[in-house]
Amino acid sequence: MKIISSAALLTVVLFFITETQAQVPSAIIDPAERGYTLQPEQRAYALTQRQLYPSVIFSADEKGLKLDLGDSTLYGRLHYGPAYFDYVNSDYYEARFRSRSDIKKGKGLLEINSYFKKESLSNVNHWTTSGTFGFRLELMRIRDGAPVTLGVFDGRVDFRKTASGYATPLSIVEGPIVGCIQSDHPEWMLIGFDTDRMSTGMIELEEIGVYPDLSVSLHHEITIGNLQPAHRYRYRAVAIVGTDSVITPWMSFKTAPVKGKGTVVFAYSGDGRATTGGGENEYIGVNRTTITQIAKQAFRRGTDFFLFGGDMIGGYTSSAEDFTLMLKAFKTTFSGYMNSVPVYCAVGNHEAHYFGYADARGKKVNIDKYPYDSLSSEAIIAREFIQPSTGPDAYPGMPTYKRNVYGFQYGPVKSIVLNTDYWNTSANAISTFGGSPEGYMLPNQVEWFERELKAAEADPTVKYIVLLAHEPFFPNGGHASDAMWHFGDNTVRSYRAVNGTMTPFDYGVIDMRDRLWEVISRSKKVAAVLGSDEHNYHRSLITNTTPVGVPELDDLNHDGILNDGRFSPDAKFTHPTWFMVCGGAGAPYYTQEPTPWSGAVKKFTAQNNYFIFTANEKKIGLEVFNANGQLLDAVPDLLEVRKK
Ligand SMILES: [Fe+2]
């Protein structure tokens, strides 16, 4: 199965060229019609994706590979070493740097000869005629006479020895990444990888055979079928162009058990976007330091999958180049984990790729970029992440839900992932141009969710349900001003153009929160509702006595805003239900803020954190660890509170 054929890739390129002339989607009004001017794309990073492709920046040399970034203003260092360091003795692959050289005027040398000298202590992978380097470009530029640090950019380059020196035949620059490993179809899953030249690709399963993708593309996404449930397979990726080919070391993945069976261990964390601190704390929009710590610990704890709660990247960009570069940086950071174990991501507010507008007074408005089927935040996420396509159909003239809203089952656990940052427009412009505020879900997603929950409730193979939405239902530290609360403002909602007239949706964000929570609390199986967005950990027990604010009871002056001093409980919250936030994968920390439901908070800490859930026949339990692996909190049986 492929998501980008070469023809589709060409279409995307054409869209990039003609995007400003693209037809305005029917659900919005073009800000340009109201005196706003489209702002030029702003890039934040010094390199493009292509400038990390070996086929673009490396060429043959008798000593190794010559680097030419095509930009004479760049200086710095080229670090390099084996990409799959000592793979014979590793189960989690990463590069280990061993050598470095200077970059001057955008040029440098990746020297290889020394790795092949008899007395070499560097050739850990015992290369004979070919191999794979991981490389790091540590860059700076002189601006106004002073050096400006541009950060680090990592890549991979495959090489082979030739009669006259070295060559880069073709490189696998991303992946392989496993995806869609789930009990809904334990007999098949997906593996994706990217190459730096148009290639054909295949996945080889050890002692079983090959699964080819014969179409010529930079991206390969291959369906691996005829698999046994709960079985570990060894595999490797192969890419071919002409008479050249490259191959990865052997890796492995484990298929899901049949529905309802097995003990399942899975991780959850969110908000891994960059923070201050320099270096790997701000690696192309990603906090590589913390995500790496968490990914490695989750891997070592034997997790079957990882739920990630959104805000993978700094995002918020008008540049498709930067948006994609950041998403790829997130995947590269998680790469050692994703070689073997799937990561299921939710969309956060930072996953925003937009058209930026400004009026004559400098008022700014951002709207989700179109054409929606190729350039919206949602479409780019769908291209970059291998995730289920089980979400609802979008309304005409709106972005896709495919691969950003979905449910999947793993053993006895059903996970439902929502998109609470869909079709986003700047808060101050939604009622003028159309779009959605943070935390709001349109009726088609709400109804899809209710159907999904009802089906899971009725399915005897589903013992536990876990719900994930980036925007917290009950924020406690950093986002009481938005999420699903907006400081009590129930006038907050989405708008769309109907026959050219801006039309609000029927319900406000707090009505929506309460409707959803009423349904969630009726279910006997919902073990936890997970949020992210707030960069801390908190666990609250929401019951029918928790003061949550009810619009029909508490809006005493009827202005639509719950700020009149009364916050009632919702009597329709049937069972006590855990709401937990784990926005602890590295974004700037937030401490606690007061909310009407502060009394329901059982635990709060601003530490970086991740969750480990363990579900078996009898119960589903939770442990919360900080990024150092210290146990912060535990709930041995999450459904215990519903049995009382
Ligand atoms: Fe967020």
Structure confidence at residue 142 as a pLDDT band (50, 70, 90): confident
Which residue from 335, 93, 86, 56 is spatially nearest to 168, judged by alpha carbons?
56
Ligand 1 centre and the CA of 266: distance in Å? 22
Which residue from 390, 403, 308 is spatially nearest to 350, judged by alpha carbons?
308
Ligand 1 centre and the CA of 473: distance in Å? 13
Copy the structure tokens of residue 29: 């009004």
Ligand 1 centre and the CA of 201: distance in Å? 36
CB 286 within 8 A of CB 273: yes
Kindly state the percentage of the chain with pLDDT values over 90: 93
pLDDT digits (tens, 9 = 90+) for 339-388: 999 999 999 999 999 999 999 999 999 999 999 999 999 999 999 999 99
Ligand 1 centre and the CA of 471: distance in Å? 7
Angle between helices 443-458 and 509-522 (to 10 degrees): 10
Copy the structure tokens of residue 46: 């010094």
Ligand 1 centre and the CA of 352: distance in Å? 11
Is the N-terminal amide bond of 176 cis, ω within 30° of 0? yes
**DSSP characters over 40-54:** PP----S--SGGG-H
Average confidence (pLDDT) over 95-108: 97
As a whole number of angstroms, the distance between CA 484 and CA 173 comes to 39
Ranges of beta strands (E only) in 419-494 are: 464-468
Homologous superfamily of 264-643 in CATH?
Metallo-dependent phosphatases (3.60.21.10)
pLDDT digits (tens, 9 = 90+) for 388-420: 999 999 999 999 999 999 999 999 999 999 999
Ligand 1 centre and the CA of 140: distance in Å? 30
Ligand 1 centre and the CA of 420: distance in Å? 10
Length of the chain, please? 644
Q: H helices within 255-391, ranges in order?
A: 288-300, 320-333, 335-338, 372-375, 377-384
Ligand 1 centre and the CA of 207: distance in Å? 45
Ligand 1 centre and the CA of 126: distance in Å? 45
As a whole number of angstroms, the distance between CA 611 and CA 342 comes to 16
Ligand 1 centre and the CA of 309: distance in Å? 9
Ligand 1 centre and the CA of 472: distance in Å? 9
Average confidence (pLDDT) over 312-336: 98
State whether residue 191 is helix, strand or coil.
strand
**Which are the contacts of 398, defined by CB distance < 8 A and separation ≥ 6?**
25, 27, 372, 423, 442, 496
Burial profile 571-590: b = 16 or more Cβ within 10 angstroms, e = fewer: eebbbbbbbbbbbbbbbebb
Question: What is the Cα gyration radius of the chain?
Answer: 25
Structure confidence at residue 644 as a pLDDT band (50, 70, 90): low
Ligand 1 centre and the CA of 593: distance in Å? 16
Evaluate the CA torsion angle 402, 403, 407, 408 in order and state its sign.
Answer: positive
Mean of per-residue pLDDT scores for the chain:
95
- What residues have a C-beta under 5 A from ligand 1, the ion? 311, 348-349, 533
Average confidence (pLDDT) over 100-113: 97
**Which are the contacts of 614, defined by CB distance < 8 A and separation ≥ 6?**
263, 264, 265, 620, 621, 623
pLDDT digits (tens, 9 = 90+) for 596-613: 999 999 999 999 999 999
Ligand 1 centre and the CA of 481: distance in Å? 12
pLDDT digits (tens, 9 = 90+) for 446-494: 999 999 999 999 999 999 999 999 999 999 999 999 999 999 999 999 9
Q: How do strand 526-531 and strand 577-582 relate by DSSP bridges?
A: parallel
